[in-house]
A and B are shown apart, each in its own frame.
Chain A
Amino acid sequence: MIRWALAFFLLNGLSAEAATINTSLYILRDSIHFDNGTSLPYATFNESNAYTATNARIVADLGDQLDLWVVNFDSEVHEFRIQGETNTVSIPVGDSVQVLYDCNSQGVFIFHDPMNFPDNASVGLSGMLVVKNTTNAGFYWNIKEHQVGNNATVFGGSSPDWSTYYPVHFTINGKSAPNINNDADARVVGNVGDTIYIYMANTGQSIHSMHLHGYHATIVYSSKNPSHVGWSKDSMPIFPSETMVLELVPDQPGEYPVHDHNLIGTTGGGEYGQGMFTTLLIAP
């Protein structure tokens, strides 16, 4: 077995609390299912050899070292990188690679299969690495959209025509409404006065504009627009491959929607209410 070792030794040393995160990602192919009965071929990075349509998420504390093995259980060659952070490595069928990464910068980083970008990443192979320096509650939104037919095209060895892209399914962590509210990592639950962080990554190819009801949130991290840090917003556009962190301090109780304000994104398969729509649940 060929093993690639990839190490990044950054200038800053590990903090006193630094830990080594030993984990693995398994590339598996199956399908993603939507409530209108549509199923699309799909592939994800999984935390075990059991497939789910939700990519595994890696959460590290600032200063941790990531010791990651990526295992290719698919029938095709794949690649792997942490976007903007590590070099691309190839993973032959049945093989694995080791990726070492020092988590010395706070933020959200996308790991994905960059082969024929954005083709392979678009069929599901895009996940989130979150590096944080807080113990406050955090919720995670890997947002994505899907055009019927594109995944089959990619798995068939061709590239979709992105200039005519028209997705009809919209997901957070691989789920559409109303199922997003069943994802405890996605649905924001807290109390008035809590400091809550929402970690977002747009691993799709469309621009989305996430709108909060009930509250404004402060942008505390944006990979694309660092100058927006500190803005208090209720509608946050997030671009393809952009990551963002929001700080939310609820000042009133209640259940409030969060959704894409490109309202086409609140539909699924041509039906309203089956898209990128979840709720915040805030207790007094």
Chain B
Amino acid sequence: MAKAIKLSMVNVIEIVKMPHWFEGTRNVTLALILTLCSPSYGQIDTSLQLISKIDFQEQFELHDGNLIHLMGYTQLISAPIDLPSPTLIFEEGDSVNLSMWNLSQGAPHTIHLHGLDVNQQNDGVPMLSFEVEHDSIGNYYFKAPHPGTYIYHCHVSSVLHVQSGMYGMLIVKPKSNPNLTWENGFLFDSEHAWMMSEVDTNWHHDSIINHPHDPMGTMDPILPYYPQHFLINGMSETQLDMAPINGTVGEKIYMRLANIGYYANRVIFPAGMNAEVIASDGRPLPSPFNSDTVDVYPGERFGVLLEADAEFSDVIQVGYVNLNTQILENTQEVDLTISGFIGLDELDAEDQLVYPNPANDEVQLPLSGEWVALDLSGRAIGTLISENNNYNVSGLAVGSYILKNVERSDVSVKITIQR
């Protein structure tokens, strides 16, 4: 089954504005009590829940058709675990309550907010903060800090749980404009988020994924790590054909690159693309620089602004380098096409295609019928259907999306949701 179709209707990020402290009604754990005792963040602006789960049946499809077990986070009980977990987007300065309901049936889990520099209570490290037992809810409170690109992942037996799939990207956007890197930073027209990782299928057997509570980690077997699959947003090889990057001449494309794997990533942009490295680890670089190659090591993130001044088609390469031998073991490619305009030849300006853009709850699109909404990682997260050109987009969280028309595969438009 095509990945994009398989993933449609899931991973929709639901950000609920809460007027008061979140008051959970489920089983309140010691962890929650400890968290509530932490320094107050006052009114919670944003509340979001993730569910940590494991696969009892192999369901995640690799490029070769093989299925593997995963651990992971979803936002719906019924949603299959995906790689990576849903991308979370917050606005700078928001007081956030991120809760996690652990339905692992065994192992405890946490959420470590990698790079957000949250306080100790909310850092997601067992024994230094808290871990969430099966069928319990843990709550993490933090203020979304500097706009930038971050990671969240489990920190219980982290070498095992991260490889098992418990990771996702977290993005903090400035309040004034979601298409701004940070206040007084760089404006961009579209953005893509790439979470790079690997899979060693030997680490995904049921006996490892479905392991019991073992806080000291002494029972968790740590196998030799020799990955066979090298991923960009959970996809590799021909799967990546479904996640191309399409842009237009003069369009500023912001690439968010993150490495949660145990290899180094060497990202190489084609010669026709001007690539400016402007940020790393959630902070602006003091001296942005141009480079067609960006190396991203485990835990790092980079922000790269792309722009082309001519039409061309090429690929972006991602190399995977063994950190022990420094040998390049694999290269993945993502198609990149820069065209004059975005699909509709009969229209001569992009701003005539989508109105208003940025949009709030409603938007007018150039064609009626069904559109598929793709998130920053190129994954389908839902559909928009209307018998006329007016569409309700209130279900889309703040951020940037590509909308692809189902009947006219050559037609796609970019839209920004801003509230």
Contacts and interface: CB of A to CB of B under 8 A. Distances in A.
A interacts with B:
yes
Interface stretch (A7-15, A37-45, A83-91, A264-272): A264-272
B296 to A, nearest CB: 9
A206 B297 contact: no
B281 A216 contact: yes
A271 B217 CA distance: 7
Interface in A135-189: 145, 162-167
B299 A214 contact: no
A92 interface: no
Given A213-B125, A214-B117, A272-B217, A163 B297 contact: no
Contact of A256 (B123, B280, B281, B324): B123
B119 A254 contact: yes
Contacts of A213: 112, 117, 123, 125
A256 B123 CA distance: 8
B28 interface: no
A67 to B, nearest CB: 37
Interface in B190-248: 216-218, 220-225
Contacts of B33: none
Contacts of B159: 263-264, 266-267, 272
B158 A165 contact: no
Contact of B117 (A167, A216, A260, A279): A216
A243 B239 CA distance: 40
A262 B197 CA distance: 11
Q: Secondary structure of the A side of the interface? A: mixed
A214 B123 contact: yes
Contacts of B162: 263
Q: Secondary structure of the B side of the interface? A: loop
A153 to B, nearest CB: 16
Contacts of A273: 157, 216-217
A33 interface: no
Nearest to A239: B326
B123 A233 contact: no
A209 B119 contact: no
Contact of B160 (A163, A167, A235, A272): A272
B281 A233 contact: yes
B282 interface: yes
B115 interface: yes
Contacts of B218: 271-272
A252 interface: yes
Interface residues of B, number: 46
B262 A263 contact: yes
B325 A234 contact: no
B119 A252 contact: yes
Interface string B271-312: 000000000111101110100000101111100000000000
Given A166-B224, A216-B117, A271-B217, A234 B299 contact: yes
Contacts of B287: 227, 230
A207 B220 contact: no
A230 B128 CA distance: 30
B37 interface: no
A162 B326 CA distance: 10
A51 interface: no
Interface string A247-284: 00000111111001111101100111100000100000
Contacts, number: 129
A191 interface: no
Nearest to B215: A273
Contacts of B114: 211, 234
Contacts of A98: none
Contacts of A241: none
B283 A216 contact: yes
A234 B281 contact: yes
B220 A165 contact: no
Given A230-B286, A234-B281, A263-B162, A215 B298 contact: no
B394 interface: no
A261 B125 contact: no
B398 interface: no
Contacts of A215: 117
B300 A237 contact: yes
B264 interface: yes
Contacts of B118: 214
Contacts of B325: 162-165
B323 interface: yes
Nearest to B156: A272
B158 A233 contact: no
Nearest to A166: B324
A223 to B, nearest CB: 17
Contacts of A261: 297-299
B349 interface: no
Given A230-B286, A273-B216, A267 B222 contact: yes
A231 B217 contact: no
A209 B264 CA distance: 10
Contacts of A165: 324-325
Given A214-B117, A231-B286, A266-B158, A207 B326 contact: yes
B120 interface: yes
Contacts of B115: 216, 234-235
A31 interface: no
15 contacts: A206-B324, A213-B125, A230-B286, A231-B283, A231-B285, A231-B286, A233-B281, A234-B114, A235-B281, A237-B300, A252-B119, A256-B120, A261-B297, A261-B299, A273-B216
7 A-B pairs with least C-beta separation: A261-B299, A254-B120, A235-B299, A272-B217, A237-B297, A263-B159, A261-B298
Given A165-B324, A233-B300, A264-B222, 11 more contacts: A163-B325, A166-B324, A231-B283, A231-B286, A237-B298, A252-B119, A254-B119, A254-B120, A263-B163, A264-B159, A272-B218
Interface of B: 112, 114-115, 117-120, 123, 125, 128, 157-160, 162-163, 216-218, 220-225, 262, 264, 280-283, 285-287, 289, 295, 297-301, 323-327
Interface of A: 145, 162-167, 205-209, 211, 213-216, 227, 230-235, 237, 252-257, 260-264, 266-267, 270-273, 279
